[in-house]
């Protein structure tokens, strides 16, 4: 996102909530939080804040961060879904079918990742030298 675009969105927020809430230091911190967001998403977030909040309730820095994290999560989910479709097309099996022997019955690839993360933590508690990349149960072709 360009500085010009960010400044334009801040001006929209100033009109709604008043300029005193968006001093230079606040703008600097907000910019650091959302600089990697897409223009469209940030404009949508600003419009949502303007349309859903009282004029006495401006967004705080934490909400700028939440907006960025929500966009990142959405992008990751889209990437995972695309990868899953490619994977299914090539193997005829869904990623969840392939992962089930390792992580059990899960509802999503994200849930499988979380289960695996917990498995690794448990293994490292028992053996600090545990290397998940060398685990024979997870080698290519296992199962």
Could you state, in chain order, the average pLDDT of each consecutive group of 10 residues for the chain (143 residues)?
95 96 96 94 96 96 95 86 70 76 84 87 89 76 48
Residue 86 lies in a domain: no
CA distances (Å), origin 12, targets 60, 99, 104:
15, 47, 49
pLDDT at 143: 45
Task: Tell which residue, 43, 49, 51, has the closest CA to residue 71.
Answer: 43
12 and 58 fall within a common domain: yes
15 and 61 fall within a common domain: yes
Residue 22 lies in a domain: yes
Can you read off the two tokens belonging to residue 141?
Answer: 């072709």
Tally of domains within the chain:
2
- For 53, the domain range is 3-72
- First-to-last CA distance in the chain? 46
- Cα 99 versus chain centre, distance: 22
Task: Tell which residue, 44, 39, 32, has the closest CA to residue 1.
Answer: 39
64 and 98 fall within a common domain: no
Q: Identify the residue whose tokens are 């404009």.
A: 43
Residue 119 lies in a domain: yes
59 and 14 fall within a common domain: yes
- Residues counted in the chain: 143
């Amino acid at each position: 996102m360009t500085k010009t675009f960010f400044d334009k969105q801040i001006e929209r927020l100033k009109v709604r909530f008043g300029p005193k809430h968006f001093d230079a230091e606040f703008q600097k911190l907000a910019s650091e939080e959302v600089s990697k967001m897409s223009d469209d998403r940030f404009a949508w977030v600003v419009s949502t804040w303007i349309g859903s909040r009282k004029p006495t309730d401006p967004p705080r820095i934490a909400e700028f961060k939440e907006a960025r994290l929500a966009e990142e999560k959405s992008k990751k989910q889209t990437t995972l879904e695309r990868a899953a479709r490619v994977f299914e097309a090539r193997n005829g099996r869904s990623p969840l079918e392939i992962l089930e022997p390792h992580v059990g019955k899960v509802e999503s690839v994200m849930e499988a990742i979380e289960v695996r993360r917990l498995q690794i933590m448990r293994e490292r508690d028992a053996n600090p030298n545990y290397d998940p990349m060398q685990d024979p149960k997870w080698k290519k072709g296992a199962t």
